[in-house]
Amino acid sequence: MVERNAKVRRRLAAGKLQLRICDLRNLGPRAEALLATVGIRSSRELRERGALEAYLALRRAGHSRSLNLLWALVGALEPWPEGRDWREVARSPARVPLMLAVEARDSARESTLQAAGVLSARGASDARRSAVRRIGSRPSGATQDDEPAWVPGLPFEATEEKKNRPKGRSSGATARPAHRR
């Protein structure tokens, strides 16, 4: 098998070529800007910190809760420097250990905060709901007692009445007059 990008690999190893984050596969200018907010400004720093740590730092900063970003970061770093498509990573068996690692780090962080007295036991269970309230947008006159905004990825709440439908009808069909010939 012919080695892909042998020239690029040699130049990277010699220090003659520096890749930007947006040069990596799956990552563009938006990902580069997000990573810069958590202190990762070059592909070298991203490789040193690792995809999982970078993703967790972004989650703690409140920038992303989507696993697609994790798949993109992992795909950008493995194999170096070619990368893999993020959809391949999402379908691969490697996704399960990554998801478990994210869950373990989140639960460990919550238990550490509880032990330090920063987060109450009730606060830990409500942490995800409060994050949803921060993410969801409210009208300027809305109060905390108003219904929380729906965020993509969360289930809809069951309601008695359907919106935008006149009361008293069970379906959207209206009675039509008989056609005259």
Q: Is the peptide bond before 152 cis (omega within 30 degrees of 0)?
A: no
**Predicted pLDDT of residue 17:** 76
Q: What is the domain-level CATH number for residue 70?
A: 1.10.150.20
Residue 19 placed within a domain: yes
**Which residue in 26, 51, 28 sits closest to 38, CA to CA?**
51
What residues make up the domain containing 111? 11-133
**Predicted pLDDT of residue 118:** 74
The arithmetic mean of pLDDT across residues 13-28, rounded, is 84
**Predicted pLDDT of residue 78:** 85
Q: What total number of domains does the chain contain?
A: 1
Residue 161 placed within a domain: no
State the pTM of this model. Answer: 0.58
Residue 89 placed within a domain: yes
Token couple for 18: 């520096």
Contact assessment for residue 56 and residue 70, using Cβ atoms and an 8 Å cutoff: no
Residue 178 placed within a domain: no
**Predicted pLDDT of residue 92:** 92
Residue 128 placed within a domain: yes
**Which residue in 39, 44, 40, 36 sits closest to 18, CA to CA?**
44
Which of 37-46, 48-57, 71-80, 115-124 has the lowest average pLDDT? Answer: 115-124
pLDDT band at 53 (very low <50, low <70, confident <90, very high): very high
